[in-house]
A and B are shown apart, each in its own frame.
Chain A
Amino acid sequence: MGKFGEIFLGILSAMGGFVEIGELTFSVNAGVRFDYRLLWVTAIGTLGIMVYCEMAGRIAAVRQRPVFSLIRERTGYRSALLTLIAANLVNLLTCAAEIGGIALLWQLLSGAPYRALILLALAVFVLAVWLLSFQAIERVFGLGGLLMIVFIGAALHFGPDWPRLGAGLVPSLPEGGPRDTLLYFYFAVALMSSIMLPYETYLYASGGIEDKWTASDIGLNRLVVSVGFALGGVLSAALLALGADFFGARDIEPQLPGTAALATAAAYGKAGLYAALIGMFFAFGGAAVETALSGAYNLAQFAGWPWGKTKRPRDAARFALAWIALFVLAAALIATGIDPVKVVEYSIVFSVVVLPFSYFPVLMVARDPRIMGKHANGRLANALGWFYLVTITLTAIAALPLFVLTHAGQG
């Protein structure tokens, strides 16, 4: 395949892999509760994940250093261990939520028992990761996730109110009392966290090293991240718009991931429903695979084990056992009957607390010309990097109090 084809596929995979169960849940519900008022968070969060994935990808291309090795080197052993435990707890919870979400989707289609479908999903994912290469995993789930575009079609079908949508890009407080304001900030924090989930950065950098990027791939990295994630951000915005225009207008508050497909069914009938459900399967499945792999990458890079999907499992044995263990634990957790959407909420709020610890070492390395040479951050990347570090630190400080004060978004 030519370079153009590679770029095209990379962009599409980045777009298809952008949305997962947490982002879907919070985007739709943010639209239902606050109309377009939280659209600015989607825009800021999308730019944030672009900035940090670009930096992590650039470090991978120039120095071939994965994020977790850097975290241990730069922040010290204790702090890195704390970040590892927290990041992998988020990975476990997110993976559990995605598997649960998929079992719920399959139950909608087949009516089979929920726990049997969890086992089936576990088997499918373990086999997929065992048998497929890193790039094939990225492509299969990323491109399958592109069916989620049907949500953009549905958002256009129900006609976004463009002036109101434009106004949503400027922060404004909701009408109502202090309780509504608190809820608004809770949703802002959760939406930001769901878009900037740290596993995406870990995985992106590790993937770059797996694909043997060099400094000559920096331009490609920048293009794939900026265009692919921007399109992913449009998809998130469409979900928020559907929350406002379709569900909010009908007083429906979707509690299950499958409910979002009602909007596409209303717009395009059965075909729309199936496209949405299959798209969600690939999007959630991609995130399940990515979180399990990300957990294994983190652990192996922290401990200095051989790692990588390009290696045979026998040559990176503890890495392989780590991702299998993460899948099994996640399936066991969700099979206890805990509501996947509740797990999403916990993982999203917990994840925001980890964000500053994950992103700080990335910024420290990317801005250092002694390490990165002429590929160190320029003024714009540094300004954006610091802006987002301050933003996510403030978000992290606010997350837990908001979670408690709003009773996990229940108001």
Chain B
Amino acid sequence: MTAVGGMRRLDLLREVLDHEVVDVEGTSCGMVDDIEFAAGERGPEVAALLIGPGAWTPRLPALFALACERLFGRGVVRVPWPEVSEISETIRLRSKASELGLGRLDRKAGRWLAALPKS
């Protein structure tokens, strides 16, 4: 992020895309797989961060994208831009991962592993 005439200029490609997303408790909950834009008053504006296979498979070559869609599905979690509280090496969110629908698979697998001793 650089300061331009008192304004912050953000390089979305370098500072947001493919960066780790961390919830308010510091738990990793995915990577920024894609960025959604919406039409704003002064041109396109960032609307949300997209996380999940439905966001990263379109970035692959067509054949791999098709195979990955079959394997991992097309699920995408949309994190509205105002949810972002800080952009540094990680993208920090204002809410818990569970409130935003992030990290579902981890919680599901965690409940399953919790049945094992010393887990």
Asked if A5 is at the interface of the complex by the 8 Å CB criterion, the answer is no
CB-CB < 8 A to A312: which residues of B?
Answer: 119
> Could you say which of B20, B51, B111 has the most chain A C-beta atoms within 10 Å of its C-beta?
B20
**Is the beta-carbon distance between A76 and B18 smaller than 8 angstroms?**
yes
Contact B103 A306 (CB under 8 A): yes
Q: Is B116 an interface residue, CB under 8 A from the partner?
A: yes
| CB atoms of B28 and A314 under 8 A apart | no
Complex alpha-carbon distance, A286 and B66, angstroms: 38
| Cβ distance B100 to chain A, nearest Cβ, rounded Å | 13
Interface residues on B, range: 20 to 34
- Chain B residues contacting A307 (CB-CB under 8 Å) are 28
Q: Find out whether the CB atom of A317 lies under 8 angstroms from the CB atom of B18.
A: no
The answer, among B30, B33, B60, B107, for a CB contact under 8 Å with A78, is B60
User: B10: shortest Cβ distance to chain A, in Å?
Assistant: 15
Chain B proximity mask over A46-63: 1 for CB below 8 Å, otherwise 0: 000000000000000001
A72-B18, A304-B21 given; A318·B31 CB < 8 A: no
Most buried by B among A81, A306, A312, A317: A317
B113 within 8 A of A: yes
Which secondary structure characterizes the binding site on chain A?
A: helix
Residues of A within 8 A of B113 (CB): 313-314, 317, 320-321
Chain A 24-62, CB within 8 Å of chain B: the 1/0 string? 000000000000000000000000000000000000000
Using an 8 Å CB-CB cutoff, how does the interface string of B9-35 with A read, 1 for contact, 0 for none? 000000000111100000111110100
Residues of A with Cβ closer than 8 Å to B? Answer: 63, 65, 69, 72-73, 76-78, 80-81, 130-131, 300, 302-307, 312-318, 320-321
Would you list the 5 A-B pairs with minimal beta carbon distance, nearest first? A317-B109, A304-B31, A317-B110, A304-B30, A314-B110
Known contacts A315-B110, A317-B113, A318-B106; 14 additional CB pairs below 8 A are A72-B18, A78-B60, A81-B60, A302-B31, A304-B30, A307-B28, A312-B119, A313-B119, A314-B111, A314-B119, A317-B105, A317-B108, A317-B109, A321-B109
Cross-chain pairs A/B with CB under 8 angstroms, 17 sampled: A65-B89, A73-B19, A77-B59, A302-B31, A303-B30, A304-B21, A304-B29, A305-B28, A305-B103, A305-B106, A313-B113, A314-B113, A316-B106, A317-B109, A317-B112, A317-B113, A321-B113
Binding site for A on B (CB under 8 A): 18-21, 27-31, 33, 51, 56, 59-60, 89, 103, 105-114, 116, 118-119
